[in-house]
Amino acid sequence: MKKIINQVDHMVDEMCQGMVKAHPNQIQYFAQYKVITRQEMKQNQVALISGGGSGHEPAHAGYVGYGMLDAAVCGDIFASPSSIQIYHAINQVATDQGVLLIVKNYSGDCMNFDTAAEMAEDDGINVKAVYVNDDIAVKDSLYTIGRRGVAGTVLVEKIAGASAERGDQLEEVYRLAQKTVDHVKSIGFALNSCTVPAKGTPTFELGDNEIEFGVGIHGEPGIERRTMQSAKALANDMLDQLVAELSLVTGDEVIVLINGLGGTPLHELYILSNEVHHYLNHLGVKIEDTIVGNYMTSIDMAGASISLLKTDEEIKTLYNFPVKTIALNK
Amino acid sequence: MKKIINQVDHMVDEMCQGMVKAHPNQIQYFAQYKVITRQEMKQNQVALISGGGSGHEPAHAGYVGYGMLDAAVCGDIFASPSSIQIYHAINQVATDQGVLLIVKNYSGDCMNFDTAAEMAEDDGINVKAVYVNDDIAVKDSLYTIGRRGVAGTVLVEKIAGASAERGDQLEEVYRLAQKTVDHVKSIGFALNSCTVPAKGTPTFELGDNEIEFGVGIHGEPGIERRTMQSAKALANDMLDQLVAELSLVTGDEVIVLINGLGGTPLHELYILSNEVHHYLNHLGVKIEDTIVGNYMTSIDMAGASISLLKTDEEIKTLYNFPVKTIALNK
């Protein structure tokens, strides 16, 4: 294993320190609980918190800022932050308007975020949570009951973040976050495995011409191993499944997120995006906007995912609300 | 070789198509000459053009927009665009105020950009050029006489772009671009090789615990093969050389670019950035700003480079000028 690190045990802390030193006007870092918050805390709006295992950067610390999150809680690589970490984050950013937790649907994350929410409610803080489960590849998986939360989480954070920033009440921010969860679906594939630093070897092995179709963002198994295909064939297969899941028909509108898993060159993502546009144009589905890049990664995995968010006027208005974070700016 | 492409011969064109479809309000694509320009062309300011071989995305098409480039000319993977392509780009964006070409110092690029400039000058267009040679690793290399142009090019485009956007005359934009070239220095290392699609196998081989120190962005040999080191040791060695080259002393100010070569996770770049801050803080060098991410890549190469731009009030003012491009927003 070759990685640009010092010690495996220190890498999440050193990453957070590196982030806050690079962006001192935007974020601050509470090292004891590995919590990153905005530099300027909100006063009278709903506060939004996400987090989870590290290794998915820029998720979630890269989305802390105006129009998105108020705090990100950083667990170890691919391990949920503890309930104590999350409880600390809630205390750090909570306002009288309450707190919304945006949780990717993994059993460990759900348990720890729920425990932290109960602790904070005992303190009189109003807390609600949504559980993102956008990955349509498999139901029940390693670490998960139900469907996994993957790149669609970024869009949930964007929409809910806009709702909170414009001053919506907690019930309304929650409703819009849950509506986004209900309308965003994703599926991905891996060309090779990630290497978790603490393990030091690839999580799984793929043949020279083999891919894992439907892979999870921790290297969990997907739908099947299959022979490598063209960008067009991959896009078409993924979109057949996404379109069916969202019941998309001519005249519908979507936001597209073409997400790299960490080790994929940007030009390959744009080639995939080109095929997604071909497919959706042919179907008569309007594309409101397209985001292309590394937004929810799996360490150094080569591969990509496609997320579609079915939009309406309400979601589009929030999507087009300004956002100023490290990783997403509009 | 597993890559998300259709045919190797079509990948640059399909990438450009994917880019313009994803960002239709920002850029347009002239397919015949593989030129990407702003959606809204400048009228009365100096126009800036860069380009080169593809495979370095988001360079350079990702830097087309307000406050940076007016056009990017896309060659094949790791191959200079032809003089005809560049000549077409000049004609597409030239104004009465003239055109500045920002060329990475590779023999093929220099020859083709110079030929295109002569052709355009025959048409009565005022053209000047700067040649970026920020890579301090080696003098003379594969493809290059003198030093190579690498990630520092992005900062040259940022500073010159701001100068052009605020309405400086060509001589002044040229002076500031050349000043930036003179004040930006870079060095990088590879943990593994890139794989050029047309070749289909890695350009070079490294052992399980071996790196190429001083590598070029096309996989050209660097200073030496060495055993993998910690992030701190790598940063310190690179900074010793950069600081000596720029004669940095306590009280000087720099802008830092921590650049991923394509296959490196963002958290590793922030760990490297953290070490760069440690080193420069200890030296008493002030860091005006830090950019961390994939800005000048080498296809799927794992590794990183550090660029330092020594600043003064003139450069800082231009650096802080607004920029609205696909890959850089301030």
Q: Is A258 on the interface with B (CB under 8 A)?
A: yes
Between B216 and B142, residue with greater pLDDT: B216
The C-alpha atoms of residue B183 and residue B152 are separated, in whole angstroms, by 9
Burial (0-12, 13-18, 19+ Cβ within 10 Å), A218: buried
The phi-psi region of residue B309 (left if phi > 0; otherwise alpha if psi is between -120 and 50; otherwise beta) is: beta
Burial string for A275-309 (b: 16+ CB within 10 Å, else e) reads: bbbbbbeeeebebebbbbbbbbbbbbbbbbbbbbb
Alpha helices in A123-165 (DSSP H): 152-165
**Residue A277 and residue B191: Cβ atoms within 8 Å?**
no
- Both structure tokens of A307: 């997320």
For residue A2, give the nearest of B11, B211, B256 by CB distance: B211
Read off the pLDDT band of B139 (50, 70, 90). Answer: confident
Digit-coded pLDDT (tens) for B202-248: 999 999 999 999 999 999 989 999 999 999 999 999 999 999 999 99
Beta strands in chain B (DSSP E): 27-30, 35-38, 47-54, 71-77, 99-104, 127-132, 184-190, 210-213, 224-227, 253-260, 286-293, 303-310
Q: Which residues contact B182 (CB under 8 A, 6 or more apart)?
A: none
Mutate to test the interface with B, among A267, A323, A328 (most CBs of B within 10 A): A267
* Chain B closest-CA separation from residue A47 CA (Å): 25
- A47 within 8 A of B306, measured Cβ to Cβ: no
Please identify which of the residues B23, B88, B183, B218 carries the catalytic annotation. Answer: B218
> Looking at A10, A23, A56, A88, which residue is catalytic?
A56
Closest-CA residue of chain A to B7: A230
Distance CA A51, CA A102 (A): 8
pLDDT, position B325: 98
Q: For residue A23, give the chain B residue with the closest CA.
A: B290
* pTM to 2 decimal places: 0.98
- Whether A10 is a known active-site residue: answer no
Q: Indicate the SS3 state at residue A230.
A: coil
- Across B9-146, the runs of DSSP E, i.e. the strands, are 27-30, 35-38, 47-54, 71-77, 99-104, 127-132
What is the per-residue pLDDT across B274-297, written as a single tens digit (0 to 9) for each?
999 999 999 999 999 999 999 999
Spatial CA neighbour of B326 closest among B30, B16, B1, B91: B16
Number of inter-chain CB pairs under 8 A, A vs B: 175
For the record, the structure tokens of A236 come out as 């078409």
Whether A5 sits inside 8 A of B271 (CB atoms) is: yes
CB contact under 8 A, A299 and B228: no
Q: Do A294 and B297 touch (CB under 8 A)?
A: no
Chain B hits for A12, Cβ within 8 Å: 267
Q: What Å distances lie between residue B304 and A52, A92, A195, B3, CA to CA?
A: 26, 35, 18, 21
- Residue B86 banded pLDDT, cuts 50, 70, 90: very high
Percent of residues, chain B, with pLDDT higher than 90: 96
Q: Which of A3, A263, A266 sits opposite B58 (nearest CB)?
A: A266
Contact criterion met (CB < 8 Å) for B4 and A304: yes
Residue A139 has what pLDDT? 87
| Contact at CB, B290 and A21, closer than 8 angstroms | yes
Report yes or no: A212 at the B interface, CB cutoff 8 Å.
no
Element (H, E) at B246: helix B231-246
pLDDT by residue for chain A (330 residues), tens only, comes to: 999 999 999 999 999 999 999 999 999 999 999 999 999 999 999 999 999 999 999 999 999 999 999 999 999 999 999 999 999 999 999 999 999 999 999 999 999 999 999 999 999 999 999 999 999 998 888 788 899 999 999 999 999 999 999 999 999 999 999 999 999 999 999 999 999 999 999 999 999 999 999 999 999 989 999 999 999 999 999 999 999 999 999 999 999 999 999 999 999 999 999 999 999 999 999 999 999 999 999 999 999 999 999 999 999 999 999 999 999 998
pLDDT of residue B316: 98
Residue B140, pLDDT above cutoff 90: no
Is there a contact between A304 and B211 if contact means CB atoms under 8 Å apart?
Answer: no
- The A residues from 20 to 39 touching B (CB cutoff 8 Å) are 21-23
Q: What tokens were used for A264? A: 């994929």
The model's pLDDT over A44-98, given as tens digits with 9 standing for 90+, comes to: 999 999 999 999 999 999 999 999 999 999 999 999 999 999 999 999 999 999 9
Predicted confidence (pLDDT) at residue B82 exceeds the cutoff of 90: yes
CB contact under 8 A, A4 and B272: yes
> How far is Cα B69 from Cα B273, in angstroms, rounded to an integer?
27
